Amino acid sequence: MQIKILYTAWPILLLASVVVAQNKNKAVDEWPAYGHDAGGSRFSPLDQINDQNVNKLKVAWTFRTGELETYRGSNAMESAAFEATPIMIDNTIYFSTATNRVFALDAASGKQKWLFDPKLNLKKGFSEITSRGVSAWPAADKSSSNPSPKKIFVATIDGRLIALDASNGAPVQSFGINGTVDLKAGLGNDVSVTSPPAIIGNLVIVGTSLGDNQTINYPKGTVRAYDALTGQLRWSWNPIPQDEKDSAWKTWIGPKAHQTGGANAWSIISVDAARDLVFIPTTCPSTDYYGGERLGQNLYGNSLVVLRASTGKVVWYFQVVHHDLWDYDIAAQPMLIDITKEGKKIPAVAIGTKMGHVFILNRETGKSLFPVEERAVAASTIPGEEAFPTQPFPVLPAPLGLQKVTTENAWGFTAADKEESAKRIAQYNYKGIFTPASAEGTIVSPGNVGGINWSGMCYDARKEFLITNINWLAAVIHMLPREKANQLPKENPESFRMETGRQSGTPYIMTRDYLFKLKDGKLMMQTNPPFGTLLAIDMHDGQKKWEKPLGYMYDPKEFPESKNWGSLNLGGAIVTGGNLVFIAASRDGNFRAFNAGTGEMLWESELPAGGQATPMTYKVNGKQYVVISAGGHGKFATKMGDFVVAYALE
């Protein structure tokens, strides 16, 4: 009898083991979230495409969104950017365009399954016209299988959170009002969202994107969690303390300090479902370059703030900039990784910053896993401003990118160009990183698009290498008394429009420019190469393993050395089990693969438009694909288009 039972159960046990194996393969083969996983590691174990055969990679299919047609009749082309990273679940790709149109494609063929159009009014005018992606509910987890998506969530640049039926793209009528929650309610019409929502359990969590250079009283950068089933608000968290009992309250000094806006989370929010934690990357409080109305340390601005997902309450925080006066938002997604220290695996979170500073913290406690020092920095010369006397500097990993600008850094196409660059650098105030803005002009290096921006980082979990691309770009900031506003230049001689921040509610107006110029139709950098790099840091000891120039900005026929100079870049990297790093991002319009262990470039392919997005990879029907959005970037002046391109082995 006992033998009979065992024999009868054998087919059932065999079937169960097959199902488990299939589910594990499904989880490995997919790319279910913006950063592959909810912690943004951007690591896929897939290795069919590897360092031995990547040179055989060819275009498998191309899909066109028709996005350029949606820009017609507006000035969207000037500020639109196709920055989306698609997700792939159940053999279906989901992604959003710059105008929040959501597509579902067959992952094998690239053929359209459905399209949802939220019908934005582009004539309204938006500071940023972009959407970095969508999110699926239920979220994938670290179990043996990823659930099939029931809803696709997109948050729009006109302040809506929309739930779509994953099978057909129709708004889910039971969510909010006819499928939509109004994110402007309670915060104001300036609310916009450019990043995909975070999903944890039955919560959908969204931050906001605010153009915080124009006025001190922008909306607060409130983070909100909504019920994924009903759209009801479950909790909200304000990064600018409103309760005197909060220990952070006293770090905001001045009668207007607690009325300050901003400190918003416009980048990607990470979650750790097993620990019930939400990782919020906050930004500079308004206004970006003058903080005289908000003196003090300004907690929880410019911080990684970890909330309890079930309650929205603060668990711990780590501030990367005190009293920000440089627009040093945390722009990169906090990356949840495991690192080995003294033979033990430690749950960690990596914070990449515009300053080129990388902080590695214990994910549970917020304690730094490498040394961090508070160092004295320059004082402000602007009446009414009080720069914070110290700033945190990571000892390891060592600061990355353009950390110093002097006349010795001057560069140009010719000796005369270099001399002109040196004269320009010499006329500005510069006392190292964290030099505050001034009336005569201050070099801010790295600038607000320097270091690690929204492009973010990726993590080779096998080698324990943190890999990231870096922008080497300095900004020039002028602070002028409001009564001298008529002295603001309308346009500089090279026809670059100098950005003006009105900073209403403060005594000053700000202008922002960069250390480059236009010469003979070319963007000529005024600091020496490299202009952009890709690098790897070993998380065992915090030391840099390799660093290589990323792309080029000038025609190699005219400038043979340009491939050694690198390029300004926007768009991130991914890393795979095939020992490969995939990245586009550079201004030359090429998509590349690098050896993850050495940084050697192994493959490149010209894209039909600028690749200012982070790629992704997946396997379907036994074939691995690498996919990237190629639609260009208006502000970055790369070739515009409307392409999604998939590559596979021949």
The set of catalytic residues is 327
Please, are residues 95 and 63 in contact by the beta-carbon 8 Å criterion?
A: no
Q: Do residues 222 and 208 touch, judged by C-beta distance below 8 A?
A: yes
Residue among 131, 188, 187, 173 at smallest CA distance from 156: 131
Q: Give CA angle at 228 (222, 229), nearest 5°.
A: 140
- The phi and psi torsions of 631 (rounded to 5 degrees) equal -130, 0
Of 613, 273, 637, which is closest to residue 456 (Cα–Cα)? 613
Beta-carbon contacts of residue 636 (< 8 Å; ≥ 6 apart): 81, 568, 570, 587, 610, 612
For residue 361, what are the β-bridge partners? 349, 368
User: Which residue in 461, 459, 430, 463 sits closest to 447, CA to CA?
Assistant: 430
CA distances from 255 to 197, 250, 259, 457 (A): 34, 12, 8, 39
3-state secondary structure at position 458: strand
How far is it, in rounded angstroms, from Cα 524 to Cα 411? 9
Question: Can you tell me the distance from the alpha carbon of 270 to that of 277, in angstroms, rounded to the nearest whole number?
Answer: 9
- Beta strands across the sheet bearing 180-182: 135-137, 151-155, 160-165, 180-182
- Phi, psi of 387, deg, nearest 5: -65, 145
Side-chain-facing half-sphere of 290: CA atoms under 13 Å: 29
- What burial letters (b/e) apply to 10-28, b meaning 16+ CB within 10 Å? eeeeeeeeeeeeeeeebbe
Query: What gap in Å lies between CA 212 and CA 261, rounded to an integer?
Result: 8
Q: Are 178 and 170 in contact (CB under 8 A)?
A: no
